[in-house]
């Protein structure tokens, strides 16, 4: 799917994950197999990451892959990415109950993204995204 | 006046075929109130087995219900409206407990709008008809409406009963049966409502199955037994539901939110009168329902020439928002609907600060003395520019992003520079100027000199990423039925081909 492979080393990541969220991925992977993320937009439980079994959610031609977290590709809509270009997206997990199809919700948990604006010096070293 | 936290049963069940049915696998989850973080009750954690039961019950009911007369269905909807109205306080206080919004809103907006939705469609179906056309003197074409059968709905948590009503009412009005999955944050108010209205409904016409999206929601949305799915929520789940709908080749309606502009032109400040007062309230309406509204006017665009003076009047009004006990009628803002929602809003307050937006007020968690376990956030106003993420992403909290514009052209450019197109507001004393905005704004709703008004009969839905389809209007009737064309020939002569 990716037309451009990620290069190794020396890059500032676009997406990262907290250890607590990694543990939840491990737990979900046992039950659902390989996983992926898609950052949602819009109302209610939007502007939050959704975790699905790989192949359940159909990646669109205009989605972009920001990178991989704990072995899961992390996508978002290309239009939405325009506003995430200057931020590192950090996937964390909190207690909660979002009303979406994201797989962690039955555990009483909800993935959450926080953001860190890149320093000017980092901007030209940010990893390029893969276009679906 | 103050209401009390309602008393609930320890456990509720699914509502299937007119009966309270425990989940097949016997699992339940704990429903808590965002007001105090305390347990409300236990709710079925249903899965595909429960969805199968509900869809079977719905099809069984459809055999009779799809043949009912418009008069029968209309009378049922009127009776339900009356019953809800008779019990409005009991239902409103449950909605407040489960969702966190103030009782002034559930009593003054949510429930009255639910009741009116039933009455509006009850009236619609008595006045409409199919059509008959003489294509030529001996050929008559009839357009006949038929219900789809069984339809599915997945409901959000921000207006649990109202969003349910927007889907239940047109579906039942057109002779369909429904299987509905409430949001897992707010599962109980519709169950209480069904305890109150259930005896009026023929068994199986309306079925409610609670549970989580990945289990019950996915089973419903992908089930071959539903003939339409209606969803209100966010874009990724909207795409997933469309994907499932495409597998079964059924129609889908989606309402997916927005980032609605609220535009204040300089003429609003031309007089110091009741209209200026209304416009100030119009800006502060971002805090309605704690900002958890798909059409939240979360971007205020203010003409440069009046910015200082106008904001000098608006900010004290924001500061005057009272955050007391949500069960108290004077309380203006209640709790955010859940812990994760609360955390997400906090993450955007952080993003706004990192992006360099100027914090004009609020910006923090609100520590509620009476309910330290609840999820409260101060009404917050940032000033910045439209390319910032707090101007582009739906925060779904009491967070307003304010910017300025020079002239009409720039206002329209900013207003439309968004992925979404659900709501919008224009405030001006100049009717010609208003018309330019009405024409220029790419959104399904333009409020002119008002905001957050949702009368039944005014269509609601989005342009762009905000979704597909409309609700809350008689045009919805056709979303819930098939059209059968009948061509009748009164000519006795053969066509002559063979």
The answer to whether position B266 is within a domain reads yes
* B305 and B182 both lie in a single domain: no
The answer to whether position B5 is within a domain reads no
Give me chain B's average pLDDT, please.
Answer: 97
Nearest CA in chain B to A52: B214
CB-nearest partner of A101 from B240, B256, B420: B240
With residue B6 as reference, give the H or E element that holds it: none
Could you tell me the fold of the domain covering A15-124?
A: Hypothetical Protein Aq_1857; Chain: A; (2.60.300)
- Please state, in angstroms and rounded to a whole number, the distance separating the CA atoms of residues B301 and B401: 9
Which chain B residues in 155-174 lie under 8 Å from chain A, judged by CB atoms? 156-158
Please state, as a whole number, how many other Cβ atoms lie within 10 Å of the Cβ of residue B23: 21
**Residue A7, pLDDT above cutoff 80:** no
Using N-to-C axis directions, what is the helix angle for B70-86 and B88-99, rounded to 10°?
80
Please tell me the predicted confidence (pLDDT) of residue A6. 45
The answer to whether position B347 is within a domain reads yes
The angle at the Cα of B382, spanning B268 to B288, to the nearest 5 degrees, equals 65
Chain-centroid distance of CA B364 in Å reads: 27
The answer to whether position B454 is within a domain reads no
The answer to whether position B497 is within a domain reads no
**Residue A9, pLDDT above cutoff 70:** no
Contact at CB, A40 and B392, closer than 8 angstroms: no
Nearest CA in chain B to A105: B212
Residues of chain B contacting A98 with CB distance shorter than 8 Å = 184-185, 213, 338, 340-341
Q: Assign A69 a pLDDT band (cuts: 50, 70, 90).
A: very high
* B310 and B226 both lie in a single domain: no
CB-nearest partner of B465 from A42, A96, A105: A42
- Please state, in angstroms and rounded to a whole number, the distance separating the CA atoms of residues A131 and A128: 10
* B307 and B194 both lie in a single domain: no
Please tell me the predicted confidence (pLDDT) of residue B129. 86
For B168, the domain range is 14-256
- ipTM for the whole predicted complex goes beyond 0.85: yes
- Please state, in angstroms and rounded to a whole number, the distance separating the CA atoms of residues B143 and A61: 39
Residues of chain A contacting B46 with CB distance shorter than 8 Å = none
* B270 and B248 both lie in a single domain: no
Q: Work out the minimum CA distance from B116 to partner chain A, whole angstroms.
A: 24
Q: Work out the minimum CA distance from A116 to partner chain B, whole angstroms.
A: 7
* B227 and B147 both lie in a single domain: yes
**Residue A4, pLDDT above cutoff 70:** no
CB-nearest partner of A112 from B185, B257, B343: B343
CB-nearest partner of A45 from B233, B240, B395: B233
Q: What is the pLDDT of residues B139-151, one digit of tens each?
A: 999 999 999 999 9
The answer to whether position B459 is within a domain reads no
Beta strands at B39-44 and B261-264: parallel, antiparallel or unpaired:
unpaired
Listed residues B221, B256, B291: the one ending a domain: B256
Q: Is B287 helix (H, G, I), strand (E, B) or coil?
A: helix
Distances (CA, A) of B307 to B6, B88, B304, B315, B323: 45, 42, 5, 12, 27
The answer to whether position B364 is within a domain reads yes
CB-nearest partner of B338 from A56, A79, A96: A96
Q: In DSSP terms, which residues pair with B484 in a beta bridge? A: B144
With residue B111 as reference, give the H or E element that holds it: helix B111-127
* B391 and B272 both lie in a single domain: yes
Please tell me the predicted confidence (pLDDT) of residue B269. 98
Q: Is B347 helix (H, G, I), strand (E, B) or coil?
A: helix
Contact at CB, A79 and B419, closer than 8 angstroms: yes
Please tell me the predicted confidence (pLDDT) of residue A132. 62
Residue A10 token pair: 């020396």
Residues of chain B contacting A100 with CB distance shorter than 8 Å = 213, 233-234, 236-237
Q: What is the pLDDT of residues B362-415, one digit of tens each?
A: 999 999 999 999 999 999 999 999 999 999 999 999 999 999 999 999 999 999
* B247 and B271 both lie in a single domain: no
CATH number of residue B347's parent domain: 3.40.309.10
B2: left (phi over 0), alpha (psi -120 to 50) or beta: beta
**Residue A2, pLDDT above cutoff 50:** no
Beta strands at B481-489 and B139-147: parallel, antiparallel or unpaired:
antiparallel
Residues of chain A contacting B395 with CB distance shorter than 8 Å = 47
B436 and chain A in contact, CB less than 8 A: no
With residue B162 as reference, give the H or E element that holds it: helix B160-173
Q: In DSSP terms, which residues pair with B39 in a beta bridge? A: B32
Contact at CB, B157 and A44, closer than 8 angstroms: yes
Torsion of CA B245, B248, B249, B253, to 10 degrees: -20
Per-residue pLDDT averaged across B242-252, rounded?
97
Q: Assign A127 a pLDDT band (cuts: 50, 70, 90).
A: confident
Q: In DSSP terms, which residues pair with B133 in a beta bridge? A: B141
State percent of chain B over pLDDT 90: 99
Per-residue pLDDT averaged across B286-307, rounded?
98
Per-residue pLDDT averaged across A61-79, rounded?
96
Contact at CB, B212 and A106, closer than 8 angstroms: yes
Please tell me the predicted confidence (pLDDT) of residue B130. 85
* B181 and B326 both lie in a single domain: no
Q: What is the pLDDT of residues B435-483, one digit of tens each?
A: 999 999 999 999 999 999 999 999 999 999 999 999 999 999 999 999 9
- Please state, in angstroms and rounded to a whole number, the distance separating the CA atoms of residues B238 and B402: 29
Residues of chain A contacting B156 with CB distance shorter than 8 Å = 43-44, 99
Q: Which of B467, B469, B424, B460 is nearest to B442 (CA)?
A: B424
Mutate which of A28, A45, A79 to disrupt the B interface (most B C-beta within 10 Å)? Answer: A45
- Note if B255 is an active site residue: yes
CATH number of residue B225's parent domain: 3.40.605.10
Q: What is the pLDDT of residues B74-122, one digit of tens each?
A: 999 999 999 999 999 999 999 999 999 999 999 999 999 999 999 999 9
Q: Which of B235, B163, B236, B242 is nearest to B465 (CA)?
A: B235
Chain-centroid distance of CA B496 in Å reads: 56
Domain total of chain B? 2
Please tell me the predicted confidence (pLDDT) of residue B472. 96
For A128, which DSSP code? P
Residues of chain B contacting A91 with CB distance shorter than 8 Å = none
Residue B174 token pair: 């057109």
Per-residue pLDDT averaged across B213-235, rounded?
97
* Residue of B294, B296, B394, B471 with catalytic role: B294
Per-residue pLDDT averaged across B111-138, rounded?
96
For B352-437, list the strands marked E by DSSP. 358-361, 380-383, 399-405, 420-421, 425-427
Please tell me the predicted confidence (pLDDT) of residue B352. 96
Q: Where are the domains of chain A?
A: 15-124
Q: Is B260 helix (H, G, I), strand (E, B) or coil?
A: coil
Q: Assign A5 a pLDDT band (cuts: 50, 70, 90).
A: very low
- Please state, in angstroms and rounded to a whole number, the distance separating the CA atoms of residues B68 and B430: 50
Distances (CA, A) of B332 to B71, B239, B324, B369, B497: 41, 35, 8, 16, 74
Per-residue pLDDT averaged across B49-57, rounded?
98
* B250 and B348 both lie in a single domain: no
Q: Work out the minimum CA distance from A54 to partner chain B, whole angstroms.
A: 13
- Please state, in angstroms and rounded to a whole number, the distance separating the CA atoms of residues B388 and A43: 18
- Note if B361 is an active site residue: no
Per-residue pLDDT averaged across B30-50, rounded?
98
């Amino acid at each position: 799917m990716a037309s451009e492979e990620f290069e190794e080393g020396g890059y500032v990541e676009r997406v990262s994950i907290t250890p607590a969220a990694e543990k939840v991925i491990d737990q979900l992977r046992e039950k659902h197999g390989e996983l992926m993320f898609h950052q949602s937009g819009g109302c209610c439980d939007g502007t939050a990451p959704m975790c699905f079994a790989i192949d359940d959610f159909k990646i669109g031609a205009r989605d972009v892959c920001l990178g991989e977290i704990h072995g899961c590709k992390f996508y978002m809509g290309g239009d939405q990415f325009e506003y995430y270009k200057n931020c590192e997206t950090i996937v964390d997990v909190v207690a909660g109950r979002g009303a979406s199809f994201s797989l962690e919700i039955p555990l009483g948990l909800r993935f959450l993204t926080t953001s860190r604006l890149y320093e000017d010096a980092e901007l030209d070293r940010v990893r390029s995204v893969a276009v679906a | 006046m103050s209401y009390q936290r309602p008393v609930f049963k320890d456990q509720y069940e699914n509502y299937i075929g007119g009966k309270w049915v425990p989940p097949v696998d016997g699992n339940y989850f704990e429903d808590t109130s965002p007001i105090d973080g305390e347990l409300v009750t236990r709710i079925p954690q249903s899965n595909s087995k429960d969805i199968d039961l509900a869809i079977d019950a719905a099809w069984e009911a459809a055999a009779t219900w799809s043949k009912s007369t418009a008069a029968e269905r209309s009378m049922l909807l009127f009776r339900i409206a009356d019953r809800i109205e008779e019990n409005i306080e009991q239902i409103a206080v449950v909605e407040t407990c489960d969702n966190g919004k103030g009782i002034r809103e559930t009593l003054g907006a949510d429930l009255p709008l639910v009741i009116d939705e039933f009455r509006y469609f009850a009236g619609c179906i008595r006045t409409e008809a199919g059509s008959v056309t003489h294509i030529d003197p001996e050929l008559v074409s009839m357009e006949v409406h038929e219900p789809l059968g069984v339809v599915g709905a997945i409901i959000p948590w921000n207006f649990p009963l109202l969003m349910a009503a927007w889907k239940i009412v047109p579906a039942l009005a057109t002779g369909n049966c429904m299987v509905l999955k409430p949001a897992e944050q707010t599962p109980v108010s519709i169950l209480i409502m069904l305890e109150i209205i259930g005896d009026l409904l023929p068994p199986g016409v309306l079925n409610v199955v609670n549970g989580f999206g990945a289990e019950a929601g996915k089973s419903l949305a992908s089930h071959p037994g539903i003939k339409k799915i209606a969803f209100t929520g966010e874009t990724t789940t909207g795409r997933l539901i469309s994907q499932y709908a495409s597998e079964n080749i059924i129609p889908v309606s989606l309402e997916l939110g927005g980032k609605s502009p609220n535009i204040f032109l300089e003429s609003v400040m031309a007089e110091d009168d009741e209209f200026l007062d209304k416009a100030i309230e119009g800006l502060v309406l971002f805090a309605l329902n704690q900002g958890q509204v798909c059409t939240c006017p979360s971007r205020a665009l203010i003409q440069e020439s009046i910015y200082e003076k106008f904001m000098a009047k608006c900010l004290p009004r924001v500061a005057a928002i009272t955050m007391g006990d949500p069960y108290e009628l004077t309380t203006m803002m209640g709790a955010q609907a859940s812990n994760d929602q609360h955390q997400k809003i906090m993450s955007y307050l952080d993003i706004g600060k990192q992006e360099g937006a100027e914090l004009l007020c609020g910006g923090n968690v609100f520590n509620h003395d009476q309910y330290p376990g609840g999820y409260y956030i101060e009404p917050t106003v940032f000033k910045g520019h439209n390319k910032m993420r707090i101007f582009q992403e739906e925060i779904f909290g009491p967070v307003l992003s304010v910017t300025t514009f020079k002239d009409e052209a720039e206002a329209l450019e900013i207003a439309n520079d968004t992925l979404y197109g659900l709501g919008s507001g224009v405030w001006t004393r100049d009717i010609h100027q208003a018309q330019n905005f009405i024409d220029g704004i790419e959104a399904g709703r333009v409020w002119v000199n008002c905001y957050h008004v949702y009368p039944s009969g005014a269509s609601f839905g989005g342009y762009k990423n905000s979704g597909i389809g409309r609700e809350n209007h008689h045009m919805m009737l056709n979303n819930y039925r098939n059209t059968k064309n009948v061509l009748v020939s009164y000519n006795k002569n053969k066509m002559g081909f063979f």
